[in-house]
Amino acid sequence: MSPSFTRAYPFVMDHGQGCWVTDVDGNRFLDFTAGIAVVTTGHSHPRVVAAIEEQAKKFLHMSGTDFYYQSEIELAERLEAKILPGTPAKVFFTNSGAEAIEGAMKLARYASGRPSYIAFIGAFHGRTFGALSLTASKASQRRRFAPLLSSVFHAPYPSAARGVTTDHTMQHLEELFSTVAPPESVAAVFVEPIQGEGGYLVPPDDFLPRLRELTAKHGILLIADEVQSGMGRTGHLLAVEHWDVEPDVVCLAKGIASGLPLGAFVARAEQMSWPPGSHGSTFGGNPVACAAALVTLDLLEEGLMENAAKVGAQLQDGLREIASTHGEITDVRGLGLMVALELKTPDQAAQLVQSAFERGLLLLTAGTRAVRLCPPLVIDSDEAATGLEIIEAALG
Ligand SMILES: Cc1ncc(COP(=O)(O)O)c(C=O)c1O
């Protein structure tokens, strides 16, 4: 296989249930990664598996680009009602997060007739050429892949942990407008409401409302990349809801179908008015993935979002307590089950992940020196307590 992957430790999955996974040697681990923030409802939730089986017996594929089937239409209707509530909206299904971003980039140009985009330093929007042009998380992700799209500009992402204020970001955006990116040339601003791969950075409370105001003033589309922060993980279906902000377009993937490959971008209906043939996908909106997504939405609405808020608070409280006796932890942050602890050095973060693995807890890093906790949303408070105990022991 390609050596470009970043496997930090040799976990070889055999099977999983809920928050627990078992490797091929029979060792059991508590999973605080959810397969990179994907298995929202836990590993192999019985209701998700039943929906997949039922759909698989009927048909596996037909392609929503040329034909119709019920699970795709039903899911589009559910997302239309939930993602941009009260606003007539349209949905395009993809196979991945990067494809949702690519589609939203194309839509923004098509709808606005403008060429340029703005994104933020630290952002991760995917690895295809368009999405990679927005991505500004790690040099290793961009090195030797240039030339990327030329009309993409970046501003600093505000975060207390990085010493960047909203005022500073706003000034930088105004400077871009008055120098290299006149506002009437900017199709869209792409923003992660909470930066994911960049380190689980939560922006100051005034950032997203001020960004909404600024983009509206200039007729620029505000595109929220909720690929990692969405689908209930932060305690609301979308992270933008924490700040009462309604974007023009929302990109989804990862947690939407509990592990089956599915993404989507949802746009105001007046923006998504491109004609037949202008965009499509053979596999996007696969019927089995849509069936899994419908049950995922049911389970989120039946209590998993509240659970994310509750157990997420427990995890943050527990980490703060651990931090009070471990000087190497410099920050604890997050919302719901999108939680991170930051260490002084990248080596300390890597060491924590390694020694947690040796003690039976799966973790991933984020950014350069943060360790993220993004367990399945079915996690209960005993499992959270077990994870915290292992983290404390692994810190030594
Ligand atoms: C915020 C965000 N956007 C986009 C992507 C890309 O998604 P995918 O890996 O499914 O292409 C990711 C993946 O980590 C992400 O975190």
For residue 308, the domain's CATH number is 3.90.1150.10
Q: For residue 200, what are the domain limits?
A: 48-298
pTM of structure: 0.98
- The ligand 1 site (C-beta within 6 Å) comprises 96-98, 101, 124-126, 192, 196-197, 225, 227-228, 253
What would the mean pLDDT of 353-358 be, rounded to a whole number?
Answer: 98
CA distance 369 to 349: 5
User: What's the pLDDT tens digit per position in 216-244?
Assistant: 999 999 999 999 999 999 999 999 999 99
User: What's the pLDDT tens digit per position in 156-201?
Assistant: 999 999 999 999 999 999 999 999 999 999 999 999 999 999 999 9
3-state SS, residue 29: strand
Pair type for strands 20-23 and 28-31 = antiparallel
The verdict on whether omega for the bond into residue 147 sits within 30 degrees of 0, i.e. cis, is yes
Same domain, 128 and 266: yes
Residue 87 within a domain: yes
Indicate the residue among 252, 275, 298 that finishes a domain.
298
Residue 4 within a domain: no
Q: Which residues pair with 28 in a beta bridge?
A: 22
Q: For the beta carbon of residue 217, count every other beta carbon within 10 angstroms.
A: 9
Same domain, 212 and 196: yes
HEC string of 359-385 equals CCEECEEECCCEEEECCCCCCCHHHHH
15, 19, 14, 23: which is closest to 42 by C-alpha? Answer: 19
Ligand 1: centre distance to CA 229 (Å): 10
Same domain, 89 and 222: yes
Q: Which residues does the annotation mark as catalytic? A: 124, 225, 254
Residue pair 202/333 in contact (Cβ under 8 Å)? The answer is yes
3-state SS, residue 325: coil
Ligand 1: centre distance to CA 329 (Å): 27
CA distance 47 to 295: 7
Q: Report the domain count for the chain.
A: 2
Torsion-angle region of 17 (φ positive above 0: left; ψ -120 to 50: alpha; else: beta): beta
Ligand 1: centre distance to CA 125 (Å): 5
3-state SS, residue 93: strand
Same domain, 65 and 203: yes
Q: Ligand 1 atom closest to Cα of 101?
A: 4
CA distance 376 to 62: 30
User: What's the pLDDT tens digit per position in 33-81?
Assistant: 999 999 999 999 999 999 999 999 999 999 999 999 999 999 999 999 9
Residue 77 within a domain: yes
